[in-house]
Amino acid sequence: GAGVSQTPSNKVTEKGKYVELRCDPISGHTALYWYRQSLGQGPEFLIYFQGTGAADDSGLPNDRFFAVRPEGSVSTLKIQRTERGDSAVYLCASSLESGTAYEQYFGPGTRLTVT
């Protein structure tokens, strides 16, 4: 079956612009996670959804970052007034349920470059 997909694969934007990153999880997976990863670093947790609700958004760095999952499937990560420091690979993962009792399946990521 299809894995986790993320679009776009690459996004270049100018400082100050708004961007949306999309994640399509594996069908039937109730938990969805967003991470960002800088070169040479591990994935940095941003937020996770159980169903439609954000169960833990403590990793969002500031109020310029927001994520939604209105129907409990596709999720969109939204970044307002982008800054150069937002440049990173944004990873999405889904799992059958939340928590480490369940394997996470990661997407290929969206590489965001803010110029």
Partner 1 sequence: SQQGEEDPQALSIQEGENATMNCSYKTSINNLQWYRQNSGRGLVHLILIRSNEREKHSGRLRVTLDTSKKSSSLLITASRAADTASYFCAKDDMRFGAGTRLTVKP
- Catalog residues that contact partner 1 under the rule CB under 8 A: 33, 35, 41-45, 48, 56, 91, 93, 99-101, 103-109
Nearer to partner 1, 27 or 58 (CB): 58
Could you tell me if 33 and 94 are in contact, meaning their C-beta atoms sit under 8 angstroms apart? yes
For the beta sheet containing 5-7, the strands, ordered from the edge strand earlier in sequence to the opposite edge, are: 5-7, 19-24, 75-79, 65-68
Quick one: 35 or 82, whose CB is closer to partner 1? 35
Pick 29 or 82: Cβ nearer partner 1: 29
Write down the least CB distance from residue 45 to partner 1, Å: 5
18's CB contacts (< 8 A; 6+ apart) are 78, 79, 80, 81, 82
Helices and strands in the chain: count of H runs, count of E runs: 0, 11
Minimum CB separation of residue 66 from partner 1 in Å reads 20
In the complex, what is the shortest distance from the CB of residue 44 to partner 1, in angstroms, rounded to a whole number?
Answer: 8
**Residue number with CB closer to partner 1 (33 or 65):** 33
Q: Angle at Cα 18 formed by Cα 93 and Cα 38, nearest 5°?
A: 45
The minimum distance between CB 108 and partner 1, in angstroms, equals 5
